[in-house]
Chain A
Amino acid sequence: MYDFAYHRPKSLADALALLKGKPEGRVMSGGMTLIPTLKQRLAKPSDVVDLAGVKELAGIKVEGNNVVIGGMTRHADVATSADVKGAIPALAYLAGHIGDPQVRNRGTIGGSIANNDPAADYPAAVVALNATVTTNTGKHAADSFFKGLFETALGEGELVTSVSFPKAEKAAYMKFPNPASRYAMVGVFVAKTAGGVRVAVTGAGPSVFRVKAMEDALAKNFSSAAIKDIKIPADGLNSDIHGSAEYRAHLVGVMARRAVDAANK
């Protein structure tokens, strides 16, 4: 790891001020991706601004029909939150299946979605539930937040402050984890909300994506039988030592059907 200057501000305003004028400065939330990246010398930030001391960014609250989760909220806290379990049990389930217990004690929702790893779990929930991502400068709709491989709509000096998830009538997340890393080979989040049915897939492509054909079929008939003949094209899907694009395409169908069955339970 290259050395850097470390800062631990106590407020969002102080964090933003520290980042100003430091093009090579980086923000750290849980550090579960950043620290391994630094250890491999894949990044060389001049400054690391640790958000752990910014208390205003952590916490979960229910506001009307939405569950609002602060950007610095740890996965373990989402997984065990009575508010999340009550409003969107599938979201608590997803958080409880990220990485391993030690990763869940450190990793945060803001860090996860800002990093937008192609195999991260949270992007599937954000897109399937049509959540709204709030930052220090404005709001992003889920569909326009995730731009591509490790790429989001976040601009320079823009930090995720919270994510607002509308409650779901029915929802479930099913993933096929890589046996070593626990990252999603394929993860499918299916949700039926007041806004309709959405199917979001992580792990399979360069970034999270929706499956329109499944959404249309499920809107008419919310059952796994309704999507059993829908084939996912392998074109453009991830292909690596863990699995081919064709394998992942097949897994999308399997995980989607399992998710629909779980949502109907």
Chain B
Amino acid sequence: MTISVAMTVNGKSVSGKVEARTLLVQFLREHLGMTGTHVGCDTSQCGACVVHVDGKSVKSCTMLAVQAEGSKVITIEGLAESADKLHPMQESFRENHALQCGFCTPGMVMSAIDMVKRHNYQLDEATVRRELEGNLCRCTGYHNIVKAILAAAPAMKSAGV
């Protein structure tokens, strides 16, 4: 079944023809060519595919593209203000060396921004670790990821993002 879908991705209106079974992550990567969102496990466990749909973090490998009809989607590509000004969370990941191979990073950053906002920019280490339950890092680089998120929370607050 071919269906037309239209949504906003990173502030830009996009549309396309998909099959009912096309996943949101396939639409982003294969139809729109936005390969920043990764597919890690494809079984809803690893979180490499996390994007924001209408302000909520979701696993885009476990959502159909048609379910995002009319929604506002934000991906890792939509975070940086410009080519030389990263989002405070991205900057904090860089500063704290919060990545090794980098494969899980897009999902980590998207989950991290969502958790910081939900906790009103105030988190402790235990909260960050629990909130990361849906994101796996096969390099086991969690320590610096947690450090980066804790450091980014006040930076996001002062930047107003």
**A interface with B by C-beta (< 8 Å):** 1-6, 8, 31-32, 35-36, 38-39, 48, 50, 52, 76, 99-103, 105-106, 180-182
Residue of A nearest to B18 (CB): A6
Q: What residues of B have a CB within 8 angstroms of the CB of A102 in the complex?
A: 47, 50, 57-59, 111, 134
Please list 5 pairs of residues, one from A and one from B, whose beta carbons are closer than 8 Å in the complex, sorted by A's number: A6-B66, A31-B63, A36-B43, A36-B62, A50-B66
Closest residue to B60 on the A side, CB-wise? A102
**Residue in B3, B20, B43, B58 whose beta carbon sits within 8 Å of that of A106 in the complex:** B58
Give the interface SS of chain B, mostly helix, strand, loop or mixed: mixed
Out of A3, A99, A103, A182, name the residue touching B21 (CB < 8 Å): A3
Distance between Cα atoms of A182 and B44 in the complex (Å): 12
List the B side residues contacting A5 at CB < 8 Å: 1, 20
* Chain B residues within an 8 Å CB radius of A101: 57, 111, 114-115, 118, 131, 133-134
* B72 within 8 A of partner (CB): no
In the complex, the answer to whether A99 meets B64 with C-beta atoms within 8 Å is no
Within 8 Å of chain A (Cβ to Cβ): is B67?
Answer: yes
In the complex the two chains form, is A76's CB within 8 Å of B20's CB? no
Q: Pick from B21, B23, B43 the residue with the most CB of A within 10 Å.
A: B21
Whether B67 lies near A52 (C-beta < 8 A) is yes
Across chains A and B, which 7 residue pairs bring their CB atoms closest together, nearest first? A100-B134, A6-B20, A100-B133, A1-B21, A105-B56, A102-B134, A102-B59
A106 to B64 alpha-carbon distance, docked (Å): 12
Whether the pair B134, A6 counts as a contact (CB closer than 8 A) is: no
Further pairs besides A102-B50, A102-B58: 15, Cβ < 8 Å: A2-B21, A5-B1, A6-B1, A8-B69, A35-B62, A36-B62, A38-B21, A99-B133, A100-B47, A100-B133, A101-B111, A101-B118, A103-B44, A105-B58, A106-B63
Binary per-residue interface labels of chain B (9-47) against chain A in the complex, 1 for a CB within 8 Å, 0 otherwise: 000000000011101000000000000000000111101
Which A residues are in CB contact (< 8 Å) with B42? 39
Chain A minimum-CB-distance residue to B136: A180
Do B21 and A31 touch across chains, with their CB atoms under 8 A apart?
Answer: no
Query: Most chain-A Cβ atoms within 10 A of its Cβ — which of B1, B44, B64, B118?
Result: B44
A35 to B63, CA, bound (A): 7
Smallest beta-carbon distance A45→chain B, Å: 10
List residues of chain B with CB within 8 A of the CB of A31.
62-64, 67
The interface centre, meaning the residue of A35, A38, A39, A100 with most chain B CB atoms within 10 A of its CB, is A100
A181 cross-chain contacts in B, Cβ below 8 A: 45
Quote the shortest CB–CB distance from B44 to chain A (angstroms). 6
